[in-house]
Amino acid sequence: MSEENTRSSNFITQIIDEDLQSGKYKEIVTRFPPEPNGYLHIGHAKSICLNFGIARDYKGLCNLRFDDTNPSKEDTEYVESIKNDVRWLGFEWNGEPRYSSNYFDKLYGYAIELIQKGLAYVDELTPEEMREYRGTLTEPGKNSKYRDRSIEENLQLFEKMKNGEIEEGKACLRAKIDMASPFMCMRDPVIYRIKFATHHQTGDKWCIYPMYDFTHCISDAIEGITHSICTLEFQDNRRLYDWVLDHISIENHPHQYEFSRLNLEYAITSKRKLNLLVSEHYVDGWDDPRMPTISGMRRKGYTPAAIREFCRRIGVTKQDNTIEMSALETCVREDLNENAPRRMVVLDPLKVVIDNYPEDKVEMCEAQNHPQKPEMGTRLVPFTRELYIEREDFREEGNKKYKRLVIGKEVRLRYGYIIKAESCEKDEAGNITCVHCSYVPGSIGCDVPEHKPKGVIHWVSAKEGCSANAEVRLFSCLFNVPNPGAAEDFLSTINKESLKVVENAVIELELQKSDKQETYQFERTGYFCVDSKLSTKDKKIFNLTVALKEDNSKSAS
């Protein structure tokens, strides 16, 4: 799969084209502004590709800015994970990472300016009273009894808030706009609150912190952002974005543009809910391969190119929709089909003994690393008297549709000999434990007269030093309904069969020695990668990335 080299066209790029043509801007500056309170997910990937992609396509700049205004939920762990994810996706930000906390002194100054203009006041309503005074979608709110305080009193009280002289939750600073506005975000929104928490960047310098809506627009203006791009849930907040910038003495005034967020079937993208899955141990951390986080997809074996292509294909619109999981998997499958080396792995081993093959002989068979890419070279796989095949690849009796190993019939071993099943052994319960076969000498890589096998199966040598045991993890979607977020209790929709652990799969010895997290195609099975978190030197663990073909049941991921 080759990535699109031409510039993607959407309503945002059309606006940018007009702005450049009119001379409104000479250079485009965008930003990616995550809150460092969790790991990035597939929805963030869309925003990353959009903002950094615009900067790349227009030879502009894209800032990475952490909107770190809530220290009680933020952590440097999240900061570092976000940096890693952006770089892994193939992007680099302009200069050093930025933080909203870099601007706390300026933000405080602008808050003072609003107070001095009579456009902000310190409110001491209780949280319950504030909710009551706010009104509803159909009824206007009512003014706080503290709304008409003098400028001098508000300045004194705000100073007390800053100095830690007022208890947390007992006061806040609100913008004075319109309690009767049809837009809830304009009903005197809180712009500063008290929070006695150590900040990961500023330490204990502050005990008051600005709210996101107050911080975000000013940060954009300070950084000279030309196009502030966010998702549709912030559409109404654009009024507050503009109001703040219109009423403070700041030169730049960026414009906010909204696009539809990415909703993916069988997935949750609420950071609060994702955090709950992690904290309550429903999953193995933020990077669990079943999570829709970028780190989870990386651990699962997804590639940056596949995710970028997915984001390109779904496009940028204002229309809310839900994307099928198969659309993402198709991009992953296409990329891996093009680039993943092939290996032979047996997940459910059944021993085969080739009775007419020398017992101590080890013969090296040349195997292609990629059948369509000779430049990827070949490898040697050992052929021995005893080997393993998939249990499902043998039957005592078969029909015309069954093209694998059957008593009295022949198949070709991939890259190896033609073999014929002669008999099988069973245990007391009637389970087949071993298949005895004969091989056709001289049949490696060529046809042999009077031998026309109808099928090809993969295999791994059973001889010590030729193969190794490994654990393979097969994943299905974490949720068993397409829209778990709509459920009254999303935890009730968790798929309890989302992880199946296969012990003692038999792999080519080369795979056991692999130290890097490369994704492989296990021939006739699917694409798998080394688990970067759980694998050890002595035992490799492989994660299912994606099946070879789409699962029409919608249960596989």
Q: Which residues are catalytic?
A: 35, 261, 271
Residue 535, SS3 per DSSP: coil
DSSP string, 213-263: HHHHHHHHHHTT-SEEEEEGGGTTTHHHHHHHHHTS--S---EEEEEPPPE
Task: Look at residues 220, 223, 222 and name the one whose alpha carbon lies nearest to residue 257.
Answer: 220
> Are the C-beta atoms of 352 and 437 separated by less than 8 Å?
yes
Q: What is the dihedral of CA 440, 443, 449, 455, to 10 degrees?
A: 90
Compute the half-sphere exposure of residue 175: CA atoms within 13 Å on the CB side of its CA.
Answer: 26
Report the alpha-carbon distance of residue 146 to residue 166 in Å, rounded. Answer: 16
Helix (H, G, I), strand (E, B) or coil at 502: strand
Token couple for 507: 């792999």
Residue 533 region by backbone torsions, left for phi larger than 0, else alpha for psi between -120 and 50, else beta: alpha
Q: How do 208-210 and 61-66 pair as beta strands?
A: unpaired
Q: Which residues pair with 209 in a beta bridge?
A: 193
Within 8 A by CB and 6+ apart from 497, the residues are: 476
Length of the chain: 557
CA pair distance 310, 10, nearest whole angstrom: 15
Degrees (nearest 5) of the Cα angle 322, 290, 476? 85
Token pair recorded at residue 5? 């080299």
Which tokens go with 14?
């059309």
Distance of CA 139 to the CA centre of its chain: 41
